[in-house]
Each structure stands twice: as C-alpha cells, then as structure tokens.
Structure 1
Amino acid sequence: MKLATAVQMRELDRLATEEDGIPSIDLMEQAADGIVQTALELLPRRPGKCRAAVLCGAGNNGGDGISAARKLFLKGVHVRAFLVGSYEKLTQDALEETRRLSECGLELEHFEPENEEQRAWCGKSHVLIDAIFGVGLSREISPESDFAAAIHLINHCQGTVISADISSGVEADTGRILGCAVKADRTVTFTLAKPGHAVGDGALYAGDVTVWTIGIPEKRVKALTSRVQTVHETYAREALPRRKEDGHKGTFGKVLVIGGAVGYSGAPYLAASGAVHSGCGLVFLGVPESLWAVEAMKCISAMPFPLAEKEGGLSCKALPDLREKLAECDVLALGPGLGHGESAVRLVHTLLDETSKPIVLDADGINALEGHIDSLDGRRGRVTILTPHDGEFLRIGGELSHGDRVRAAREFAIRHGCILVLKGHRTLTATPEGNVLVNTTGNSGLAKGGSGDVLTGLIASLLAQGTTAVQAAALGVWLHGRAGDLAASRLTAYAMTPKDVISALPEALIEIGGACGAQMGMRTNDNPVSAADSLRQNRRR
C-alpha cells in the first residue's frame, strides 16, 4: 500500500482544488464524514445517550474536527468542540465550519487547560476526537503549551480516542514524536496512509488505521509515485514463488549456510531450518568440525558438513572446501553464530570479494564489516542482502540519531548498493534504488535470540527459489512476522521460541496460497478459489 508524505498530500489537495475544481470545503466535509462514521461505530450506546469531545486546532485538521462535531450533533450525540489555539489563526475553511457549527446552535469553545468543567466533560465523554494537528506538524510541541495540555488530557481520558488524519504530535513522514503525542485507538486518515502511521513510534500511537476517501480524483492518487509502501498479504501472495508440479529438489534452489562457533551452535541450525521449511530444495550447512556432530544430530533435512577451524571458529583453511561447495549452490547465507575471531572475519571478507553468488549477510557476517565497509561497496552490482538490528546497523556506519528510520535505511542502501533489512518493530526493506518496504507483521515474541537466524534462512531460501532479491527480503520478513503472530496467538509472546516460529511457517504459507501447487493455478481474478476449497473440489471428483 502506498504511503504519502506531507508534501505529496499537500500537492494532491492542490491539484484537486486548483486543477480539478473541487472546493476545499467539500474535501473537508467528506473527511469529517469518515471521522463521524468511525465515531458512531465506536459509541457504546445509541447516539442520544452518548457524549463526545472534539479538540480542534486552528488549521484545516481542526476544520475537519469542527465539521465532525456538527455532524455528530445532528446525529443526536451530546457533543462539545474546543479550539486549542487562537480564533485569529483559523483557516478560511475552518472559519466556515465554525460558522456552520454556530448555525446549529453549537459554539466552538476556547480550550482552557485549567478549566475543571471542560476537563470533566472530556473525562466523561465516550469518544474523544483529536483534530489538533494534521500532517503538517514539523516542530516540537512545547511542554508548557495549551497543545501539550490538550494532548495529555486526551491521553488520560477513558473514552475511545479517534485521531483525524494522524495522531497530533506525530511527524507524518517519520513517525517521530515531536515532544508529546495523542495515543489513538483509531486513526481515520485521508486518501492515503502516511509513513508516520507505519514506522517509528507513530505506528504505536496510531491504533487501527482506516483510509478514508475524501473525493480527490482516483487518477491523481494512482499517478502519485510513492517511494515508501507497506507489505501486506496481497504483496506476499504475489511474491511467493510458485512450485512446479514436475520440479525436483534441484528445481527449488540450493542454499549454503555458513556459520557457527563454539558456544553458538544454535544459530546455524535455525538458519538452515528456516530455509528447509520455506521451500528450498537443498540446504547445506558448513560449520567448524568440532560442531559437526552436534549439527548432524539436530539437522534431519539440512546437510551439515565439517570445516577447518581455529580457536573454536571457522578458519581460512576452510576456504577451498567452501569454494567447492558454493560452486554448486545458488545462494550463500553467511554469518549466523560465526563468532568474532580474526580468521572468521577474514573468511567473510574473502567470500564477499570472491563470489558472484547472492549473499544474505547476518549477525557476525555483518559485524565483520565494522571498519571494512569497502568489502560491501566492492559488491555493488551483485546481490547482497544485509539483515542488521539497530546495534549492528550503527556498528557499520548507519545513522539513526535523527530518528528517521526510513531515511536511514534508504540512504545506507543507496550508498552501498545493497538491500538492507533493518530489523525492529515494522522492519524495513530498503533497496539501492531508494524504495522502502515497511513490514506489517510480527510481535515482541520475535525479540529473542535466534529469531534473526530463522529470518536469514527464510530470505536465502526464497532467493534460491527464484524470487527477486527485493521480493525475497520483503516476503521473508512478512512470513517471519506472520509465523511469529501465529505462534504468539497459540503460545503467547512470552513463551514462543524461534523453533515455534519455524513450526508456524506452514500455516503462514497456506494463508498466502502455499498449499498444493496443482491447486494454485485455479485462482482467477474474477473467480478466486482458495487452495483449501480447490483441494476439496478435486477430492470430490
């Protein structure tokens, strides 16, 4: 799904009003309709028995709120609208909405932070509508301001909170909190969602997001080029590599996982398991010879083999065997549990330099780039996917101090010619072309040692099966998160483990059409048939 920046939304509004001749007040009225419909859905009783408080700024976002207050009043809701700011700063459309409100017998009241009667009304309201700031906010909110007081009041009330367009206090393009912000239960955003709904703290403050159409012509929306998009089930379904009915194990790709050191035997095993359980035909696992017996006992479907080691980790003497094995594989997954030994670091740099095969670089493979980012730069033009968490990202020169994760991921991917999977809440996949895909699955149960190793195996497997590098990264992240959500639903985020994520992969794959390849061809655009339904139909025959 496209995400639009504040500048892009302003341009869409301008095109609609100036070139398409749509009155801006009509756009405002339709925006208010979305707020009102959502509010009515959330009222616990019939409108005549419910209260609402609408806190409005002086801009057009406030105008949306003032219009919504009038419409709720006409529906029978007991509503009061409060202006957080100055009457003198009301925009032309907000002034018109204020006039219309007054004609209905309601007045736009000035918000007074110390007014106990106003606070009591808000405290007893069933619904509170936040229309203080829209997507144009770019400066910190002063903690002593009336704006901050209104935001804190909303957050401390018991009623359901609906934000108009975006939670007040959230920067639309980054998801940063600009001093303080409304924590909404629902957000009704207009025309397109914004990056601030999907990334950063803004994703945590948005609640459930509804995209409401306000009358901007569809041709304008379709023509908008978005460099940031979210990854949902539709993307995952389309990106999933199809299984050839007459395929054999070689058809579905060969992955070589290299990793492991004394004390880190679990990481390579989990990476190999992630690859095996996501469709890869053959998975080889190269580990230090002292770990080989352990991995051979654990790995039933993957094929471990011993490599020369030094001080508990892989030695550069393993390179001849690795070169031979890599020659027959399609993708290299490098780094899980590799350790920080000097020999292991040299081995990483050598493989990065020598092989033209796609590489998924994780964990200690990424750490080996610290102070040696030229090894990554030298692979420009070859497929390299990095999967760092924030700490690893900073270690190799990433910049997060400005609080804009999308910008940080994009700039790194462009600068180094790689695909960057920046892990965390709403994991980002950034491409060398400057596009960023925001994941929408996953939960805190994935924040455990070993989860990233499963993800590495998943991405490598999908890449080996023929997806594009960007699809492999974004789909791998989505599947990993979805399997994590399924595991958490059964076991809780507290109790689930990386192995539980692997166990949930079949269900996640079935959800996006991964069952029984013969049935996949039965879906059509105008007559969709699920894999399960198709299977039942075939059995009846």
Structure 2
Amino acid sequence: MKIATAQQMRDMDRVAIQERGIPSVQLMETAARAVADAALELAAKHRKGKEGPGRAVCFCGAGNNGGDGVCTARLLLEAGLEVRAVLVGKREKMTPDCREMERRLEDLGGQLEDFNPNSPEFALWCLEADVMVDALFGIGLNTELRGNARTAVQMMNTCDIPVVAADIASGVEADTGKVLGDAVQADVTVTFSLPKAGQFLGQGGLHTGELKVADIGIPLDLILWAEENQFSSVTREDLFLPRRPRDAHKGDFGRVYILGGAVGYSGAPVLAAKAALRTGAGLVTVGVPAPVWPVAAAKLDEAMPHPLPAGKEGMLSLEAMEPVMDHLSACDVALIGPGLGRGNSASSVVRHLIRAYHGPLILDADGINALEGHMDILEARKGLITVLTPHDGEFARLGGDLSDGDRLAAARRFAEEYQCCLILKGYRTITALPDGQAFVNTTGNPGMSKGGSGDILGGMLLALMGQGLSVREAAPMAVWMHGRAGDLAAADLGEYGMLPGDLVERIPRVLRECEGRRS
C-alpha cells in the first residue's frame, strides 16, 4: 500500500481544484461524509442501546481541516445527533471553505461556537458525548501544540469517549510520525485519498487507531501519480511466493549457510536455522564453535551443523576462517552473526569474511557489531548484495543517526550511502533499499520483544533469498511474515507467555495463508 507525503497531498489537491476544476467544497463534503460515517459507527458502539439521539463534539481548527470538521458536524446534525461544533482558533484566520461550511451548518440550525476551555457547562456536556471529532490541524502541522489547541487535545484524550480524527490525528507530524508536544489518541483515523507516512512511523502509529482510507474524489491519475512515491507499507496482498516445480529437488530451494553461536549463546544459530528450514530452505548448513556443536547437533535434526575452531572463551578463533570460506563457496546466501559474541578473534573472523565473500550476505547481531569502527569494509562491498538487520542500538554503533526521531530518513540515508539493504528493527520496522525505496511493516507485537526473535527474522530472510527471491522482494516479505507469525503466537498464547520458538512453529501457517499468491 503506497504512502503519501504531505507535499504530495497538497500537490494533488491543488491540481484537482485549480487545474481539473473540482470545487474544493465538493472534496470537503465527501471527506466529511467519510468522517461522519465513522463517527456515527463509534457513537452507536459507545451508546450500547441507550435511548436518545446521541451526542457529538467536533473540535475544529480555522483551516481546511477545520472545515472538514464543521461539515462533519452538519452531517451528524442531519443524522439526528445533538452536536456541538467548537472553533479552536481565531475566526479571522478561517479559510473561505471553512467559512462556507459554517454557513451551511447555520442554515441547518447549528452553530460554530468559540472554544471556552474554562466553561464547566461545556466540560459537563462533553462528558456526556458519545463521540468526538478531531479536525484541528490535518497534515500541515509542523510546530508543537500550544494554548487552546493543546487543551482541546488533552480534553479529547482524557474524556474516555471515542475519537475519530479527520485525515490525521492532530499533533502528529504527517511525514515523520513525531508527536509535536501532544497528540490526539484517536480510535479511528479517516485519512483522505492515501495513507500518510506519519500514520506508520514514530509515535504516529500509536495515535492513529484504526486507519480508514477514504476516496474523496481526487482523480485516479493523480492518485497513481502520487503512488510513485518510494515509500510503502507491506500487506498480505503484496506477498509473493515462487511456485515450486513438481520435479524439484532440495538443491533448487537454496543452499544457505549460518555462522553463529558461542558458549552461552547456542540458541541463536539454532533458532535461525529452524526458521530457515520452516521458511522452505532446501539445505541449511550451520557453522558453530566446536564447544557449541554438540548442542546444535542435538537440536538440529534437519540442518547440518559443523564444528569450527574456537578459542578459550568459547568463541570462534582465527583458525575458523579457512573452513568457513570453504563452506561459503558452496552456498547461495549466508547469514553471519547470530550469537557469535564480541570477542576480538570472532570479530576479526567476521570482518575477514565480509571482505572475502562476494555472495549475498546477511549481517545480524554480532555480525553487525563487528563493523563498528570498520565501516570501510562495508564501503568495499558496494556492488554486492548486503543486508543488515540492526535494532536502534546496533544502528547507532554503525554511525546511524536517530537523534531527530526520523527513522525513515535515517534508514534511507544509510542504505543509499553504503548501497546496502537496511532492515531497521523495532516498532514499525523499516526496510530501506539502496535506490531510496523503503517499506514500513505493520505486523508484530510486544510479545516478540524477547531474545531470539531477531535470529528468526534472519533465518526467514536467508531462506527466501536462498530460494531465488531478490532482496527487494525478500526483505519486506520476511519482515511481514516474521511479524505475522508473532501475531499468530500472541493470539494463541498471549503476549506475555509466547516464546521466540513459538514464532518458528507458526511460520507454516503464515506461508499457507499466502499460498494463493504465487507466480
């Protein structure tokens, strides 16, 4: 699903109104109808069969988003609700369309009253409402909320009454998802024409609630033009699974290699290998330090673990380089890092392999940490396929800058600079490609915040790439499937009790859900 920037939306509106001749108030009426429908649905749920017409409060700014709110108030009044439309802003700053919607509201007997946050009568009336409408700012806000606007947001957030936001929750920056001082906690957001980046990124996703995309009458060719933006969310409909030939053999589905493990960290490569197998890899070889090999061999019936030279601390020794390179020469794609540890010799082995191996390479965990202070090694892999899967802390060790809170921009900068695929893990994981294209993930839950979950993602990505999918296809797909497996585990077991291994067991269910979407 394509995601638009605020500027793209402004450009679409301008062309539709000024060049295509579509009346702006017509677009506003259509947008307000979608908001009103959502508000009526929320109000009905909130009333739960109570008698009476129901009540709605519409908080409206002075701009065109406020005009959406005033129009929504009129439509709710027409639907039989008791409605109070409140202007949170200065009347002299009202746009022409907002004024026109005020006139139409008055023609129906309604009123756009000035916001008086100190009025006990208004506060008591709000407490009896069944739904509130947030139409304060829309996508144009880029400074922190203050004054009456912030007070209105706080009222919506503390009244325990469902809120529907028009286009975007007020206080959320449209392009980054930053919360500008405070933001409406919407139950439903009705956004217009296309989703906005801020509804997925940063804290914005936490304030959006259920996201509904409304067609307000922007011509389709303008929508398609905006969809050329290189930022998307991944949905189940985007998944692509290659059809398996009837005469296939195990070698057709990838010869993949995992290098990981250390004493005390034996589970990481095991989880990665099991995930790779469950995701369809044909042959999975796992290199681990010799002291870890008995554990891996006992747990991996379907993979092929082999021991590697290790030092006293139970991590790889420098003597492991040659046997690992021998195995890498026969594999299609490699995953380096799960549970390797950060010893000097293990890190040296990793850096040597990154230089010497020219095949597709996924770096996770300590495979990433080994690059700290050695980014020239990653520079040298430009032109080769390299995927990094850091969380925010690992990303910072690589020089990634998240100080401004814009994870999307930071991920894109890194991927473009080093010509790699970056999977920046966390809430709403971002996958950034070297050409600037990026994806945001919407699956997953807090129950996945346990050691081992990232190893499973690495194994799933390894398997998909080993089966011939490009990085552009495999990386966002693996992230979505990983989160979906977590959601299935949470549904079955709860977020507290689920374990990373439970994700592995649910990978087949995720794949089965996608079986109807094959080439």
Deviations 1:485-527 (A, max 9, x none): 0000010010101100000111111111179xxxx68xxxxxx
Aligned to 1:321: 323
Q: Which amino acid aligns with 2:30?
A: Q
Q: Does 1:187 align with 2:186?
A: no
Q: Which amino acid aligns with 1:387?
A: T
- For residues 108-119 of structure 1, what are the structure 2 equivalents within 5 Å? 108-119=112-123
Q: Secondary structure at the match of 1:350?
A: helix
Separation of aligned partners in 2, 1:186 and 1:417? 38
Separation of aligned partners in 2, 1:146 and 1:42? 25
Q: Secondary structure at the match of 1:493?
A: coil
Separation of aligned partners in 2, 1:495 and 1:105? 56
Aligned to 1:501: 503
Separation of aligned partners in 1, 2:119 and 2:403? 39
Q: Which amino acid aligns with 2:126?
A: C
- For residues 346-495 of structure 1, what are the structure 2 equivalents within 5 Å? 346-495=348-497
Aligned to 2:285: 284
- Deviation, structure 1 residue 120: 1.4
Q: Secondary structure at the match of 2:252?
A: coil
- Deviation, structure 1 residue 240: 2.1
Separation of aligned partners in 2, 1:427 and 1:123? 38
Deviations 1:401-420 (A, max 9, x none): 10111111111100111100
Q: Which amino acid aligns with 1:202?
A: G
Separation of aligned partners in 1, 2:23 and 2:132? 28
Separation of aligned partners in 2, 1:504 and 1:164? 37
Separation of aligned partners in 2, 1:51 and 1:2? 36
Contact 1:54-1:65 within 8 A present in 2 as well:
yes
Aligned to 2:221: 219
Separation of aligned partners in 2, 1:276 and 1:113? 60
Give the TM-score, by structure 2 length. 0.97
Aligned to 1:261: 262
Aligned to 1:102: 106
Q: Does 1:6 align with 2:9?
A: no
Separation of aligned partners in 1, 2:362 and 2:383? 15
Aligned to 2:204: 202
Separation of aligned partners in 2, 1:433 and 1:48? 57
Q: Does 1:124 align with 2:123?
A: no
Aligned to 1:19: 19
Q: CA RMSD in A?
A: 1.2
Q: Which amino acid aligns with 2:18?
A: E
Q: Which amino acid aligns with 1:73?
A: L
| Aligned residues between the structures | 513
Contact 1:48-1:78 within 8 A present in 2 as well:
no
Q: Which amino acid aligns with 2:305?
A: P
- For residues 82-101 of structure 1, what are the structure 2 equivalents within 5 Å? 82-101=86-105
- Deviation, structure 1 residue 241: 2.7
Give the TM-score, by structure 1 length. 0.93
Contact 1:33-1:68 within 8 A present in 2 as well:
yes
Separation of aligned partners in 1, 2:63 and 2:445? 36
Q: Which amino acid aligns with 1:433?
A: D
Aligned to 1:231: 234
Question: Which consecutive unaligned segments of at least 5 residues does structure 2 have?
Answer: none
Q: Which amino acid aligns with 1:52?
A: A
Separation of aligned partners in 2, 1:199 and 1:276? 32
- Deviation, structure 1 residue 242: 2.4
Deviations 1:228-265 (A, max 9, x none): 100010112xx223222211000000110001111100
Deviations 1:186-223 (A, max 9, x none): 00000000011111110010000000011100011012
Q: Which amino acid aligns with 1:215?
A: G
Aligned to 1:29: 29
Separation of aligned partners in 2, 1:333 and 1:501? 19
Separation of aligned partners in 2, 1:4 and 1:117? 41
- Deviation, structure 1 residue 48: 5.3
Separation of aligned partners in 2, 1:470 and 1:495? 34
Question: Which consecutive unaligned segments of at least 5 residues does structure 1 have?
Answer: 522-541
Q: Which amino acid aligns with 2:150?
A: A
Identity %: 51
Q: Which amino acid aligns with 1:276?
A: L
Contact 1:240-1:475 within 8 A present in 2 as well:
no
Q: Secondary structure at the match of 1:3?
A: coil
Aligned to 2:242: 241
Q: Which amino acid aligns with 2:9?
A: M
Contact 1:183-1:205 within 8 A present in 2 as well:
yes
Q: Secondary structure at the match of 1:49?
A: coil
- Deviation, structure 1 residue 43: 2.2
Contact 1:124-1:158 within 8 A present in 2 as well:
no
- Deviation, structure 1 residue 158: 2.1
